[in-house]
Amino acid sequence: MSSYIGSRTSIGPSPGVTSATTKQCAIELPGAPDIPGETKPYINYINTHGKLITHTTGINSLYDNYLRGRTIAGRNAPVFGNRPTIDGMGNVAGYRWVSWDLFHERFVNFSSGLRRLGVQAGETIGLFLANSIEWVLVEFASYYQRIVSVPLYETMTQNALEHVINESEMSVIVCTAQNARMLLDISTSIPNVQALIIVDSFSSELVQVGESKRVSVRLFHQVEEAGAKQMVEPETLPGPEDVATIVYTSGTMGLPKGVVLTHANMLATIAASSAMREEGDVYNFTPKDCSMGFLPLAHCLGRMVMHMMVSFGVRTAFPRSNPATLIDDLRDLQPTVFVGVPRIFNRIQDKVLSTVKVKGGLPSALFHYAYNTKKSNLTRGQVSHWLWDRVIFKPLRDKFGGKLSLIVSGSAPISPETLEFLRCCFSCSVIEGYGLSETMGPTSVTLIDDIEPGNVGGPLPCAMMKLRSVPDLGYNVGDLPRPRGEILVQGGNVAREYFRNPEKTRASFSADGWLCTGDIGMVDERGRFHIIDRKNNLFKLAQGEFIAPEKIENVCMDHFIVNQAFVYGDPLQSTLVAIVVPDESLLPMFLRNKGAMPPASRSEFEDLCSDPKVRALVLEELAVWGKAHDLRGFEIPKAIHLHPVAFERLDLLTPTYKLRRREAKVYFEDIISTLYSEIQ
């Protein structure tokens, strides 16, 4: 449910921020009553009058927000871009952009085409494709006609996919040809679907299959052209209380829940960001900026960032869907803003540091001297260096286009070491924060000059946050000087319900409008929140110690040889075990450094993972690493299994890269039993 907006440097109008801040992030709500077992609500320091920001005057919908961005940027300025494929070999052209005016014309035409297909205001439409100009065309078309967009994740299981389609009663889905074939294969299980709109090329055979199943199949441009020929205007333009989208949560536990989000929910976050920008607390976005739209638009953070860019007149380009081409796309785009995930940044860090290590000698010594100099300067809030940025770090920056001014990391917590690495190597602004699907992305964010890792800032000016004691888990708001407990959120950005699910709505939303996040947090003296773990993830070992597995997994994944980790503890056992997916390219280097690389006949990745000696070396290495990173003895796994297949290939990750713990436990059940047998 929760989503971290992890980060790397202080945020400011230029890459060279030169001061750290001790500013108060949040204050207690004036006049709030004392409630036993709870802290008082915390509000952003901007809200000195005690009132939350709800919207920007005159902006009543996301359509209005688009018009505002067009006014700021200029009608003929670029708004969205992509790299079209030019042949059957996957080769692409340079970035092609669509102007604000042309994009407006296209989404109005497409919205008319949807109405001609029979989709009415208040009904739903599915989006089952990767980030693209077509994705945002459908989104803005749905807003214009007051149609409700429902994203479908390409990583959804068939059960989850059928559940979302049937519960939301969508009759039309915009998708790729590949996804259309999958939908037609399960058409008897999704009887409401009447039409598939395909964004790429397909054969006539697909149309015939659709006809045999009473599902019409047509091209995207056909719907757009039909709408332009016979315009169907909306009866009423959208308002703040109209439902904009239903976003189904990732579903780490069971079937996903549909979070109902209105235009007002998203506008509150946009208005709050604008207010913080005016105070100089966040990056100073202007139409000169360019954003790389990497995070999935089906993910709340990715979509919220896109709408913020629109609000400030910033253009956004979408990369190819293949992660292997991301660096090429970044280099050619030369963005100033990049929103990614910790896994991407961890890999960049690992590759850079391993390359430096392989070079050795003078190049390695120079890199580490420059790095340590910049690391020392970070304590003063200085992320740039007049010499080392040009001599040592420029080649790395150039690989990412050379113009990055802001890096944002989302979906999961990011380690202090990775934050430090990005600040030192990229010399650009970085933010981190915290949010959920139920808050349509961010609900707290670090201040521009805050370079202290481990916190997610105070609440946005549109929200309040407080803590509630969880005595069964040992977290109490009476823990001083830093209260601890479950994080509760209230504000204009917070959804009110789960779609057609009153039971889970009652379980997560209090009668007075507080969202119970299930996340365990701590608040410090400056009103900054720190995320400790998920309430539902915590478990006890046999002797009664509480374990926060995500914390341990993050420590493990901070080591360069670990790509992914799943930590498990049997409540009847006194020790932990772990499933580790090593880095295929860095594990051999680690073994060579240890003088333990097996003969060539046993050097394949799968062979290395199954080699008992390799397993023992990695276990020993992670034990030393864990102790160095303040893990207590019972928090260090006593047995590990090295798995050669990434979790996403086993359907063990959510679309937002969170571990599906229940599914992981089932999948690795036999291996877990074997590991405990080895310990005994």
Task: Give the pLDDT of residue 11.
Answer: 26
What pLDDT digit, counting tens, does each position of 513-538 carry? 899 999 999 999 999 999 988 888 88
What pLDDT digit, counting tens, does each position of 377-422 carry? 988 888 899 999 999 999 999 999 999 999 887 777 778 888 889 9
Helix, strand, or coil (residue 112): helix
Residue 134 counted as domain residue: yes
Query: Can you give the residue range of the structural domain that contains 174?
Result: 95-238
How far is the C-alpha of 326 from the C-alpha of 130, rounded, in Å? 14
Residue type at position 591: L
What pLDDT digit, counting tens, does each position of 643-670 carry? 999 999 998 988 777 888 889 999 999 9
Select from 223, 238, 253 the last residue of a domain. 238
Buried b (16+ CB within 10 A) or exposed e, 658-671: bbbbebbeebbeee
Residue 329 counted as domain residue: no
- What mean pLDDT comes out for the span 584-592? 91
Domain tally for the chain? Answer: 2
> Do residues 532 and 520 touch, judged by C-beta distance below 8 A?
yes
How far is the C-alpha of 37 from the C-alpha of 471, rounded, in Å? 9
Select from 238, 260, 284 the last residue of a domain. 238
What pLDDT digit, counting tens, does each position of 217-256 carry? 999 999 999 999 999 999 999 999 999 999 998 655 678 8
- What mean pLDDT comes out for the span 11-26? 57
Residue type at position 83: R
Q: How many CB atoms lie within 10 A of CB 57?
A: 6
Task: Give the pLDDT of residue 89.
Answer: 74
Residue 392 counted as domain residue: no
Task: Give the pLDDT of residue 535.
Answer: 84
The bridge status of strand 172-175 relative to strand 195-198 is: parallel
Q: What are phi and psi of 297, to 5 degrees?
A: -65, -20
Q: In what order do the strands lie in the sheet with 576-582?
A: 562-569, 576-582, 639-642
CA pseudo-torsion sign 522, 524, 527, 529: negative
Q: CA torsion, points 117, 121, 124, 129, in degrees to nearest 10?
A: 70
Task: Give the pLDDT of residue 251.
Answer: 57
Task: Give the pLDDT of residue 262.
Answer: 98
Angle between helices 263-278 and 300-311 (to 10 degrees): 60
- What mean pLDDT comes out for the span 287-311? 95
% of the chain surpassing 70 pLDDT: 96
Residues in the chain: 680
> Do residues 205 and 180 touch, judged by C-beta distance below 8 A?
no
Q: Give the distance, in angstroms, between the CA of residue 615 and the centroid of all CA atoms in the same chain.
A: 32
Task: Give the pLDDT of residue 162.
Answer: 97
How far is the C-alpha of 633 from the C-alpha of 584, rounded, in Å? 28
Q: In what order do the strands lie in the sheet with 148-151?
A: 216-219, 195-198, 172-175, 124-128, 148-151, 243-248, 258-262
- What mean pLDDT comes out for the span 153-164? 90
pLDDT exceeds 90 at position 85: no
What pLDDT digit, counting tens, does each position of 197-208 carry? 999 988 899 999
Helix, strand, or coil (residue 563): strand
Range ranked top by mean pLDDT from 110-124, 385-399, 428-442, 596-610: 110-124
Task: Give the pLDDT of residue 252.
Answer: 55
Residue 631 counted as domain residue: yes
Residues contacting residue 580 through CB under 8 Å, at least 6 positions apart: 556, 562, 564, 565, 618, 622, 640, 641, 642, 643
Helix, strand, or coil (residue 78): strand
pTM of the model: 0.87
How far is the C-alpha of 555 from the C-alpha of 549, rounded, in Å? 10
Residue 675 counted as domain residue: yes
> Do residues 475 and 484 touch, judged by C-beta distance below 8 A?
yes
Task: Give the pLDDT of residue 193.
Answer: 98
Average pLDDT of the chain is 91
Q: What is the CATH number of the domain that holds 157?
A: 3.40.50.980
% of the chain surpassing 90 pLDDT: 72
pLDDT exceeds 60 at position 259: yes
Q: What is the CATH number of the domain that holds 565?
A: 3.30.300.30
How far is the C-alpha of 417 from the C-alpha of 609, rounded, in Å? 26
- What mean pLDDT comes out for the span 540-562? 88
* Structure confidence at residue 3 as a pLDDT band (50, 70, 90): very low
How far is the C-alpha of 293 from the C-alpha of 321, rounded, in Å? 11
Task: Give the pLDDT of residue 111.
Answer: 99
Select from 207, 238, 269 the last residue of a domain. 238
Residue 218 counted as domain residue: yes
Phi-psi region of 146 (alpha: psi -120 to 50; beta: other; left: phi over 0): left
How far is the C-alpha of 680 from the C-alpha of 674, rounded, in Å? 10
How far is the C-alpha of 443 from the C-alpha of 489, rounded, in Å? 8
What pLDDT digit, counting tens, does each position of 276-288 carry? 999 999 999 999 9
Q: In what order do the strands lie in the sheet with 78-82?
A: 96-99, 78-82, 315-317, 290-292, 337-340, 406-409, 429-431
What pLDDT digit, counting tens, does each position of 441-485 carry? 999 998 888 888 888 999 999 999 999 999 988 899 999 999 999
